A and B are shown apart, each in its own frame.
Chain A
Amino acid sequence: MASIRAEDLRIEFPLYHFARSMKKRLLGVASRRVKEDPQNRVVISALSDLNFTIESGERVALVGHNGAGKTTLLRTLAGIYEPVGGRLTVDGEIGCLIDPAAGMDGLSTGRDNIRLRGLYRGLDAAQIAALEADAGEFSGLGEFLDVPIHGYSAGMSIRLAFAVATAFQPQILLMDEWFSAGDADFMAKAQTRLEQLVKASEILVIATHDMDVVKRWCNRVIRLEAGRIVGDEVV
């Protein structure tokens, strides 16, 4: 059974590499989010005092303005950022659709990039071959699979990235709002595949602005504002 539990979760970004005068100016402005930590570092408090539990079966939408901390929370749940305060426990295998193009090599062909992604996921040779067949076919790139991806159009890059990223079925699906580009024909295909993935996952956490997505997929909305939870309701 998958679950996520956060207690008093806190994430702070230290600001390094800037001049002393800027530090003074930054701290001079009365702000809730820019502050000085006990080691005299200027930090941006990205997430503060988050408490929530997400159980199997929940479909959570993270909503809030730009900079509210949605993506930071996703990255924290994925284990990329480690909390400076509080506790985080995640049970279940995580699939992370934050930046689908991460780890892609521009000078390698589409096919090589699929295989590389397989290695990133720690797959063995047979699994990589299966991934190559599945993602290659779904992307619909045909002969372009053997062309270096820096020659791809924006739409083609997204098709490849999407096909690779959605080829794994995780228990916990973390998703940022990026599935928007691509041609109309592909989008219809993409929607179906994404919906399958969402339905088969035990937990979905999606950062979104789109109320349609919330209505269609989610049964709980967590609203973030300036790094704090200001609303948490079942819909």
Chain B
Amino acid sequence: MPRPEHYLSIDAANPRHVERALADLRDGLSQWRLALALARLDLRNRYRGSVLGPLWMSLSTLIMLIGLGLLYGTLFKLDLANYLPHLAVSLIIWQWMSTCITEACSTLIGAEGVIRQMRLPYTLHALRIAFRNSLVAAHSLPIILLVFLVFGHVPGPEGFLAIFGLLLIGINMLAGGLLLGMMCARFRDIPSLVGNVVQLAFFASPILWKPELLGDAMVWMALNPFYALLETVRGPLVEGGGPLLAWVAAVFYTTVHVVLAGLLFARFRSRIAFWV
């Protein structure tokens, strides 16, 4: 039986934090089939009994996009052919990131029942959240395609760079799932705080508006990690590459995020079962 339980050796005087955190990561990633099955189960249960079911995931994005597109396109007096491709990509990537952040708060709290009954790698729970939200986002991808088709927007070969952007966001999701998952399990005020930050970040990031509107002040946008990550996908798909500064910032933020999550996870992994 390929379970990681064959041999257990714990010495409180020599906790081997890093080694065991890495083992957790390895075991969790190798159980991706379970994480995917749980993610699909979550979505199926969420839309249980609904007639349109998972179609709602695409539909709500479309409704939001048309509504916001018409409203802000008129308010800012923007050319829709130019504005809608920007809004479509920004909005869908933002929804992907933001739901993942808010749900990351319950990565571990939500898995309490399982954590206390079975020995499983904690990485598995973070992977489940990342998969779940990625599946939701995947339902909105056709909308990007639709908007590009309608407005005849064709990304150049630099569009493939978006793959690296998606990869960066994926790494951040896993790191965030563990980091926020742990912090929220220990300090129960953090989920509410995160909710507020995410809400504010939606307006502070160039999603409804285009970063060019800032003029010279645009360099300051690099201080916003959401902007940096958004730009690694939106840049290649809409802007023909995206500014170098955004890419550098995105890689920098991702590194900091991963290191921070890794350090805290290594240090406090063994306490999680007592926190949830």
8 Å CB contacts to B: which residues of A108-128?
A: 108, 116, 119-123
Is the pair A94, B5 in contact by a Cβ cutoff of 8 Å? yes
Closest chain-A Cβ to B9's Cβ sits at a distance in Å of 5
Q: Tell me whether A93 is interfacial, beta carbon within 8 Å.
A: yes
Q: Tell me whether B139 is interfacial, beta carbon within 8 Å.
A: no
CA distance A88 to B11 in the complex (A): 6
Is the pair B12, A86 in contact by a Cβ cutoff of 8 Å? yes
Q: CB-CB < 8 A to A89: which residues of B?
A: 8-10
Q: Tell me whether B217 is interfacial, beta carbon within 8 Å.
A: no
8 Å CB contacts to A: which residues of B1-55?
A: 1-3, 5-13, 31, 33-34, 37-38, 41, 44-45, 48
Is the pair B13, A87 in contact by a Cβ cutoff of 8 Å? yes
Is the pair A102, B37 in contact by a Cβ cutoff of 8 Å? no
Q: Tell me whether B210 is interfacial, beta carbon within 8 Å.
A: no
Closest chain-B Cβ to A126's Cβ sits at a distance in Å of 13
Given the interface pairs A102-B114, A121-B3, the reply to whether A10 lies near B12 with Cβ below 8 Å is yes
The listed residue (B3, B48, B113, B186) touching A122 by CB distance below 8 A is: B3
Q: CB-CB < 8 A to A122: which residues of B?
A: 1-3, 31, 34
Q: Tell me whether A103 is interfacial, beta carbon within 8 Å.
A: yes
Given the interface pairs A17-B188, A96-B118, A122-B3, the reply to whether A116 lies near B41 with Cβ below 8 Å is yes
CA distance A98 to B113 in the complex (A): 12
- Stretch from B60-68, B97-105, B268-276 at the A interface: B268-276
Q: CB-CB < 8 A to B273: which residues of A?
A: 80-82
CA distance A90 to B13 in the complex (A): 17
Q: Tell me whether A137 is interfacial, beta carbon within 8 Å.
A: no
Closest chain-A Cβ to B98's Cβ sits at a distance in Å of 26
Q: CB-CB < 8 A to A87: which residues of B?
A: 10-13
Q: CB-CB < 8 A to A182: which residues of B?
A: none
CA distance A217 to B55 in the complex (A): 55
Is the pair B7, A91 in contact by a Cβ cutoff of 8 Å? yes
Closest chain-B Cβ to A134's Cβ sits at a distance in Å of 14
Is the pair A16, B119 in contact by a Cβ cutoff of 8 Å? no
Q: CB-CB < 8 A to B45: which residues of A?
A: 105, 107
The listed residue (B1, B5, B113, B274) touching A13 by CB distance below 8 A is: B274
Is the pair B114, A103 in contact by a Cβ cutoff of 8 Å? yes
Given the interface pairs A82-B10, A82-B270, the reply to whether A93 lies near B119 with Cβ below 8 Å is no
Closest chain-B Cβ to A42's Cβ sits at a distance in Å of 13
Q: CB-CB < 8 A to A78: which residues of B?
A: 5, 119
Given the interface pairs A82-B270, A107-B48, A122-B1, the reply to whether A94 lies near B120 with Cβ below 8 Å is no
CA distance A79 to B186 in the complex (A): 20
Q: Tell me whether A168 is interfacial, beta carbon within 8 Å.
A: yes
**Which A residues are closer than 8 A to B by beta carbons?**
10, 13-14, 16-17, 75, 78-94, 96, 98-99, 102-103, 105, 107-108, 116, 119-123, 168
5 shortest interchain CB distances as A-B pairs: A102-B117, A90-B8, A82-B270, A79-B119, A119-B34
**Which B residues are closer than 8 A to A by beta carbons?**
1-3, 5-13, 31, 33-34, 37-38, 41, 44-45, 48, 113-120, 186, 188, 270-271, 273-275
Can you list 26 A-B contacts with CB-CB less than 8 angstroms, sorted by A residue number? A10-B12, A17-B188, A78-B119, A80-B116, A80-B118, A87-B10, A87-B12, A90-B8, A91-B7, A92-B6, A92-B7, A94-B5, A96-B117, A102-B114, A102-B117, A103-B113, A105-B41, A107-B45, A107-B48, A116-B38, A116-B41, A119-B37, A120-B118, A120-B120, A121-B3, A168-B1
Given contacts A89-B9, A107-B45, 5 further A-B contacts (CB under 8 A): A75-B116, A79-B5, A82-B271, A88-B8, A90-B8
